[in-house]
Amino acid sequence: MDSEALRKYSALHPKPAGLTLQYGTAGFRTKAEQLDHIVFRMGLLAILRSKAVTATIGIMVTASHNPEEDNGVKLVDPLGEMLHPSWEEYATQLANAEEQELQKVITEICQKAAVNLHKDASVFIGRDTRPSSKKLSQSVIDGIQVLGGQYHDYGLVTTPQLHYMVCCQNTQGQYGKATLEGYYEKLSKAFMELIKQSHCSGESQRHLKIDCANGIGALKLSEMKAYFPQEVLIHIYNDGTKEKLNHLCGADFVKVHQKPPGGLDMKPNERCCSFDGDADRIVYYYKDTAGHFHLIDGDKIATLISIFLKELLAKVKQNFKMAVVQTAYANGNSTRYLQETLKVPVHCVKTGVKHLHHKAQEFDVGVYFEANGHGTVLFSKAAETKIRQLVKEEKDDEKREAAKMLENMIDLINQTVGDAVSDMLVIEAILALKGLTVQQWDALYTDLPNRLLKVQVADRRVIDTTDAERRALTPPGLQEKIDALVKKYKLSRAFVRPSGTEDVVRIYAEADTQENADALAHEVSLAVFHLAGGKGAPPQP
C-alpha cells in the first residue's frame, strides 16, 4: 500500500468534521455535497473486497427514489448480491475514520478479512442521472487507483444493470454477456420467445404507459426499444428532459400518495406503471371508468407471477418446491389469497431486501416482492438445470412447451436483484399469455384498507421485535396493548417496528374498513407514544 498516495488523495477528498454515516441496506445516502470522501473511500473498500474474494465487485452511485439533491453509493458482491453484512461494518468504519487513521483502518480490515494486498482486483462502476453522480464516480476511481486496481466504468446504467454485469463477469459469461447490448439481447429475446406463444391479439392490450421518474430508466428503456419489434408499444413519460428526478413522480411517489404521477395523462382503463429513480422498483396502476385510481403494488405483482409459475410447474410434473416470501407490510388479503386460493407456501421475513433474497434462495422457485414494488424470482441451480434439460429432451409436447416457457422466464428475470425493466417485461408477457386485462389482474383479490403512521421517540432502540417484526418484545406491556386494540376490529392486525435510519417508530394497521384501519393505527400510535418514550405532542387522529 502506497501511504504517500493514500495521504495525497485522501486530502483531495476530505471528510467534513463531525459527520458520521451508517452503511445500511441502501448503502450510504445523504446530501450529495457530503459524499465526496465517502465515495472515494468506497473505491478503496471495493478494491479490498475484490482482493478478499478474488472476484469483480460493483460500485453504484445512486440515491434511488430520494430527491435529486441527494446521492448515495453502494457496493455489489460477486454474484450481483448486496454487500456481505460483515463488510457493511467495515464500510461504516472506513467512512467515519478520521483522515490520519485511514491507513490504520485499512490495515485492520485487511487483517480481519484476510485480505492479500498483492492479489489483483477489479471493480465495475455505474451511476444514475443525478447532476452530482459523474463527479462522485470520478472520486470512486481515485480510490480504486490509490490501491492499484483495475476498473471498468459503465457510466449511466440502472442499478439492476450494474448488478447484472457483475454477475455475468464473475460467472465467466454463464449468466450472460457483461455489456448493455448483452443485457438488452438476453431480455428481449426471452420476452419475444414468450409472447410468440400468446394467442391474444388486441392492439389495446399491448399499449403501456411508463413513468420513468425523470431518471435513468427512461434512457435505458429508449435504448432497449430498438431490440423490440413494432408490436411492442411502450410509451415513455417523465423522461428527465423537463422535470427533476423523482419530483411528484416515480414508483415511491405513486405508492405513498396512492395517486397517479404528474406528467402522465391517464385515460380510463389504460395500463400504466412507474419505475423509481434507479429503476429497481415498479408498481402498476389504472383509473376505472368512474375515475377511481387503482394501485397494483408488489404484493399483487408477486401474486400474478406466482399464478403463472405455479401453472407451468404443474405441467412439467417435477417435484419443485415453490414459495413466496413477504414482509409484515404485505397486505393480509394477498397472504390469504396465496395460501388459501393458490395453495402456495408463504414465508414472512424481516423488512429489507437482503432478508427476502436470502429466504427465497431456500426454494427451487422463490418469488419475493416488497409491497413497494422491489422484487424478483430466484431459481435454484438444480431447478434451472432440470428445466433446460426438459426443453432439450422431453418427448411430451405439453411438458416440453411448459418447460420452454419456464426457460424463457428464467432468462427474462434478473435474478440478481429487483429490476423494473425486467419485472415489467415479465408482467407484460404474463398478461398477454393469460389474456388478462389490468382490471382482471386487480380483481384477483381486494386489498384490506390499511394505514402507515410514524411516531417520534427519544430512542428507537427501546423497541425490540420478534416473529419477523410482527410482535414487540419491548417495552413491556406494548404488545399486550396492541393485541387488545386489534381485538376491537374485524380482519385486523397491527405491528410496530423501529426505523432503520431515524428515531421514529413505524406503525402499520389494517382492518375491514378504512375508518377502522385509521382508528386502529391511531390507537396503536398513542400506545407507542406513551410506552416507548414519544417526543413532542401526542399523535392526533
Task: Say whether 333 counts as a known binding-site residue.
Answer: no
Query: Residues 357-378, buried b or exposed e (16+ Cβ, 10 A)?
Result: bbbbeebbbbbbbbbbbbbbbb
The C-alpha cell at 531 is: 410506552
For 249-270, b where at least 16 C-beta lie within 10 A, e where not — what string? bbbbbbbeeeebbebbebeeeb
Residues belonging to the chain: 541
Q: Is 397 annotated as a binding residue?
A: no
Task: Answer yes or no: is 345 a known binding residue.
Answer: no
Give the distance, in angstroms, between the CA of residue 529 and the centroid of all CA atoms in the same chain: 31
User: Is residue 185 marked as binding?
Assistant: no
Q: How far apart, in Å, do the first and last CA atoms of the chain sit?
A: 59
Is there a binding annotation on residue 276? Answer: yes
| Residue 235 CA to its chain's centroid (Å) | 23
108 is in an annotated binding site: no
Residue with cell string 485522501: 10
64 is catalytic: yes
Cite the DSSP H helix spans in 284-349.
Answer: 298-316, 332-336
**How far, in Å, are 7, 87, 104, 112, 200 from residue 109 at the CA level?**
18, 9, 9, 5, 57
The response to whether 419 counts as a known ligand-binding position is no
State how far the Cα of 40 lies from the Cα of 138, in Å rounded to an integer. 8
Residue 470: partners with Cβ closer than 8 Å, 6 or more residues away: 328, 348, 495
370 a known binding residue? yes
Task: Give dist(CA 89, CA 114) in Å, integer.
Answer: 15
CA 149/CA 46 separation, integer angstroms: 9
Cα dihedral 253, 254, 260, 266 sign:
positive
Query: Residue 318 in contact with residue 385, Cβ under 8 Å?
Result: no
Task: Dig out the grid coordinates for 84 from the structure.
Answer: 456481505
The burial class, CB within 10 Å (0-12 / 13-18 / 19+), for 51 is buried
From 10, 64, 132, 139, active-site residue: 64
Does 442 count as an annotated binding residue? no
For residue 506, say whether it is annotated as part of any ligand binding site: yes
How would you classify residue 445: left for phi > 0, otherwise alpha for psi between -120 and 50, otherwise beta? Answer: beta
Query: Is 280 annotated as contributing to ligand binding?
Result: yes
Cα separation, 116 vs 51, whole angstroms: 6
What are the residue numbers of the active site?
A: 64
- Residue ranges at the known binding site for Mg(2+): 64, 276, 278, 280
- Residue ranges at the known binding site: 64, 276, 278, 280, 370-372, 497-501, 506
- Residue ranges at the known binding site for substrate: 370-372, 497-501, 506
